[in-house]
Every structure is written in C-alpha cells, then in structure tokens.
Amino acid sequence: MCFVARGGLAGLYGAAVLCPWRGRGLGRLLTRRRLADAWRLGAREAVVQTGPGTPVAALWRRLGARVWYGVEVYY
C-alpha cells in the first residue's frame, strides 16, 4: 500500500494500492498512473508500507520525491 501525501504527511489526500494481479502488471500500471496524477497535482512525499525495493518506491525516487518506509497511517 502506498499513501500519497501533498505538502507533508498532514495533507494526506489519496492512496494507491500495488497488487500485481497474477503477474499481469495491471495493479502496477494503475498505481503508476495514480502516482503520476498525484505528482502533477503537487504531491512531493510518499509513505510506502512495503520495503525499499518496491516499484512504487523506485518510481517516486525517479521523480525526485522523498519516500518514507514502514509507516502506518490511519485516517
């Protein structure tokens, strides 16, 4: 699970879920689209509930965003 924050963790506004859907990559494609949309809207930080080697974390790092690991957020 990846929570996307806008303007810091207090401005949490969206979430994207990465699930590879039997190896077909549909979940990864949808996640990349949601993260790209969030980036265009001004999101610059992400909280990733998976390990540092995930495709979501790598995508955010390539975009130049700050990535936080192992944090659980409830809202």
Judge whether residue 39 has pLDDT over 70. yes
Q: What's the confidence (pLDDT) of residue 51? A: 64
What is the arithmetic mean of pLDDT over 13-25?
Answer: 43
Host domain of residue 49: 2-69
Judge whether residue 17 has pLDDT over 60. no
Q: What's the confidence (pLDDT) of residue 12? A: 39
Structural domain total, the chain: 1
Judge whether residue 36 has pLDDT over 50. yes
What is the 3-class SS of the chain, one letter each residue? CEEEECCCHHHEEEEECCCCCCCCCHHHHHHHHHHHHHHHCCCCEEEECCCCCCHHHHHHHHHCCEEEECCCCCC
Q: 16 near 31, Cβ under 8 Å? A: yes
Q: 51 near 31, Cβ under 8 Å? A: no
Residue 75 falls within a domain, yes or no? no
Residue 15 falls within a domain, yes or no? yes
| pTM score above 0.75 | no
Residue 55 falls within a domain, yes or no? yes
Q: What's the confidence (pLDDT) of residue 69? A: 67
Residue 18 falls within a domain, yes or no? yes
